[in-house]
Amino acid sequence: MTTPAVPSYVSGTSEKPLLGDTIGDNFDRTVAAFGDREALVEFATGRRWTYRQLAEEVNAVAKGLVDLGVGKGDRVGIWAPNCAEWTFTQYATAKIGAILVNINPAYRVHELKYVLNQAGVRTLVAAPSFRTSDYAGMIEEVRPECPALEDVILIGQEEWTSLVAIGRGGSAALLDELQAELSADDPINLQYTSGTTGFPKGATLSHHNILNNGFFVGEMCTYTEADRICIPVPFYHCFGMVMGNLAATSHGACMVIPAPGFEPATTLAAVAAEKCTSLYGVPTMFIAELADPSFASHDLSTLRTGIMAGSPCPVEVMKQVIDRMGMAEVTIAYGMTETSPVSTQTRADDSLDRRVSTVGRVMPHLEVKVVDPETGLTAPRGTPGELCTRGYSVMLGYWEQKDKTAEAIDAARWMHTGDLAVMDDDGYLNITGRIKDMVIRGGENVYPREIEEFLYTHPDILDAQVVGVPDERFGEELMVWIRMREGATPLTAETVREFCQGKLAHYKVPRYVHVVDEFPMTVTGKIRKVEMREKSVELLGLEKVAATRHA
């Protein structure tokens, strides 16, 4: 009788229990414990708040929203780059039980309209503009087609000033009463992920989901009230608002916003000036910081930890972050929006080899397993399969899309990630690929189907297939293979970019274009994207980049 193989399954244990608080109650406990400590710094403007001062702003926004008629379960959209008001709104909505709908700052008109209507956004808090995006103009353009939208509050404008002023005079007792009626299991956040059908899906997350994930991510980084976390990653994503803000406030640490959008030199300056102990980023951000001409002039000696996540990390980049930036305890995290987001993380005491070549081990109070995608059976250790995760972090479901939820979460509550992974004998995981053809460009999840369906609207395109190709800066870039209609002039990267301008978010616009007569096909008539990707690497001369080792 042979000994059965050890299955690719692990569960995360911890001496620390899960938090049973709502986000508002947990925040108030931190304010009571660390009221005089600095809580939030907006480096670009010099504005700063202690925890007590931050609570005053949060409560004012919360009471202002209540005065507008916003209540438990109502959807409040936030469409803005990183700023203090984003954070005020995040905690204010949590205190009154409104569901915060994160809207990607890169969205254009058709994406904005879809999310506002799909979520039924009642109130929208937005920046008037950011970089080349006229948010106010785009909102006015879609507003007649968004029947649920009642109020638009532009940050820094009269509407925002009025909201806060009314809130400062509002009833604290009423706010306490509303907060006391909330459950930790209530939905509190909607985060949209690009969908394979061409439409984004709203991952519905509860207080319990994201508060605990933020807390335990912070535990893995050994945060205390003495830590100062530099957060250049966007708040609209879990990386910023959960791993950044909630990890900080659940430990009494300080949140440092270097700039509204990512700027490598400003991020380095913020770390130095604010004596940050932790720095976050996707690999492309760290690459840009290490390459910045001003790098050597910044004193980064206070850094000890941080998180690199969002896309596969090149091993050499990880080593430089440790050696040149002094982040000896830097960790790699892996997860997805639907899991709040982190499922696995390396630990500060893991060996360098573990930290540069794996995505770590399962997080406390979670389970992960690797299964055979065909049979659903747990694979033996060392055998590739689909990574699944279960526990407190798994979303409540996709907003008003039960069919899509059922495709992602099985009857036993396992979230099927779609990622291929291998688990070693010690429970460490390597992500080896993706079952579906999702592309991760600079930390942004891009689904080719969405771009393909848009390109089909071009009058000269007969068919379009998008694949990811390796890229030194972004991890992956987009390449589209196009079949032209008969007699049409072949498109170029420039003409495709012009067609997409203002209609697709910039990160969804293909960088490379390859015009062909036919696509490589299987004998059953399915397009072979694996072969297309391999051929694309050859055509573009990216063999060296493709060979770069990643965690």
Q: Is the same domain home to 74 and 184?
A: yes
Residue 444 has a pLDDT of 84
Say if 434 falls within a structural domain.
Answer: no
Instruction: Assess whether pLDDT exceeds 80 at residue 521.
Output: no
* 450 has a pLDDT exceeding 60: yes
Confirm whether 83 is domain-assigned.
Answer: yes
CATH number at residue 320: 3.40.50.12780
- φ, ψ (nearest 5 deg) of residue 275: 55, 50
How many H-runs (helices) and E-runs (strands) does the chain carry? 19, 26
Q: Which amino acid is at 119?
A: A
Secondary structure of 143-194 in the HEC alphabet?
HHHCCCCCEEEECCCHHHHHHHHHHHCCCHHHHHHHHHCCCCCCEEEEEEEC
Region 80-103: what's the mean pLDDT? 98
CA distance 198 to 504: 12
Q: Are residues 367 and 229 in the same domain?
A: yes
E-strand stretches of 183-297: 187-193, 201-206, 228-230, 254-257, 278-281
- Domain ends where: 357, 390, 420? 420
Indicate whether 287 and 140 sit together in one domain.
yes
Residue 440 has a CB neighbour count (10 Å cut-off) of: 17
Beta bridge partners of 18: none
Mean pLDDT computed over 476-488: 93
Q: Which helix (H) or strand (E) holds 545?
A: helix 543-546
Report if residue 195 sits inside a domain: yes
Name the residue range of residue 504's domain. 439-546
Residues 91 and 135 grouped into a single domain: yes
Q: Are residues 272 and 229 in the same domain?
A: yes
Q: What are the tens digits of pLDDT across the range 29-38? A: 999 999 999 9
Residues 504 and 539 reside in one and the same domain = yes
Same domain? 285 vs 403: yes
CATH number of residue 514's parent domain: 3.30.300.30
pLDDT in tens, 151-204: 999 999 999 999 999 999 999 999 999 999 999 999 999 999 864 345 789 999
Task: List pLDDT tens digits, range 322-348.
Answer: 999 999 999 999 999 999 999 999 998
495 falls within a domain: yes
Q: Dig out the tokens for 203 from the structure.
A: 């991952």
In a domain, 18, yes or no: no
Indicate whether 391 and 464 sit together in one domain.
Answer: no
Is residue 430 a part of any domain in this protein?
Answer: no
Inform me whether the pLDDT recorded for 266 exceeds 60: yes
Per-residue pLDDT of 46-71, as tens digits, reads 999 999 999 999 999 999 999 999 99
Q: Can you give the pLDDT at residue 453? A: 79
What average pLDDT does the structure give for the chain? 93
Q: How far apart are CA 244 and CA 289, in angstroms?
A: 19
Domain end call among 392, 420, 448: 420
428 falls within a domain: no
Percent of the chain with pLDDT over 90: 80
Angstrom distance (rounded) from CA 372 to CA 369: 10
Question: 310: pLDDT confidence band, cut at 50, 70 and 90?
Answer: confident
Residue whose C-alpha is closest to residue 100's, from 124, 68, 80, 82: 124
Please determine, for residue 527, whether its predicted confidence score (pLDDT) is greater than 90.
no
| Arithmetic mean of pLDDT, 476-496 | 94
Does some domain include residue 287?
A: yes
H or E element, residue 142? helix 135-142
Residue 449's pLDDT is: 75
Amino acid at site 261: G
Q: Which residue has the tokens 């692990």?
A: 10
Chain mean position to CA 546: 25
- Predicted pLDDT of residue 197: 43
Q: How many domains does the chain have?
A: 2
Residues 196 and 59 occupy one common structural domain: yes
Give residue 510's pLDDT: 96
Domain final residue, candidates 420, 454, 479? 420
Q: Are residues 287 and 412 in the same domain?
A: yes
Query: Residue 524 has what pLDDT?
Result: 46
How high is the pLDDT of residue 196?
38
Do 416 and 459 lie in one domain? The reply is: no
Predicted confidence band of residue 2 (pLDDT cuts 50, 70, 90):
confident
C-beta neighbour count of 266 within 10 angstroms: 18
Q: Based on the domain organization, do 223 and 301 belong to the same domain?
A: yes
pLDDT score at 219: 97
